[in-house]
Chains A and B, each alone.
Chain A
């Protein structure tokens, strides 16, 4: 199955700075990746769909200028939280989409990134 590597696993930053999170598909070329966010004691919510070579698709209520997504290669998607504020502190986790013909296999997730903004 797909292996997804996410980095860093945790990061602490000061308010107003930007933070980049990487999501790598290690064993296949992922044209689509997904970014989720989880606040403490809540469920995971989809933020955006990252599309290789084109613009990301954001879910309703997610600010595209604040959460910049770049999917420049078939194995790497990055999420940059710009001008971070304490309310952006959350757990961010990515998954890869499946290749055509793999619709009967599970989706795999990275280990997540815990962001704390002070």
Chain B
């Protein structure tokens, strides 16, 4: 099956810093989503981005499907950005069946 690796596994930032999170996947995908899991476990959908670039406020994401990676950019980080960020992909045959990456745990300190 598809393998999904994220880097870095852990990231510690001071408030106001920028960061880039990476997601590599091993095969073609027709679905890619970035999630933020808050301390209560809720998965907040950030982007649906199987290809291309999207921006939403301080967050943006780019997926280069042909090279099998996606990037999540967080600018001017805030303490509320803390949590775990997951990318999840859906393969060609069943795009609704998501395979989650290993996650990046982000801690933002004031």
Interface residues of A (CB under 8 A from B): 32, 34, 36, 38, 43-46, 49, 91, 93, 95, 97-98, 103-109, 111-112, 114
Q: Is the CB of A43 within 8 A of B48?
A: no
- A97 lies within 8 A of B100 (CB): no
Question: Which chain A positions have C-beta within 8 A of B102?
Answer: 43
Chain B residues with CB under 8 Å of A38's CB are 41
User: In the complex, which range does the number of interface residues on chain B fall in?
Assistant: 20 to 34
> Known pairs A98-B96, A114-B41. 7 more at Cβ < 8 A?
A103-B95, A107-B90, A107-B96, A107-B98, A109-B45, A112-B41, A112-B42
* Known contacts A46-B98, A98-B96; A109/B48 CB under 8 A: no
Q: Would you list which residues of chain B between 43 and 101 have a CB under 8 Å from chain A?
A: 43, 45, 48, 86, 88, 90, 95-101
Checking A34, A107, A114 against B31 with a beta-carbon cut-off of 8 angstroms, the contacting residue is: A107
Majority secondary structure, A binding face:
strand
Given the known inter-chain contacts A32-B96, A34-B98, A103-B95, please indicate yes or no for A91 contacting B30, CB distance below 8 A. no
Chain B residues with CB under 8 Å of A109's CB are 35, 43, 45
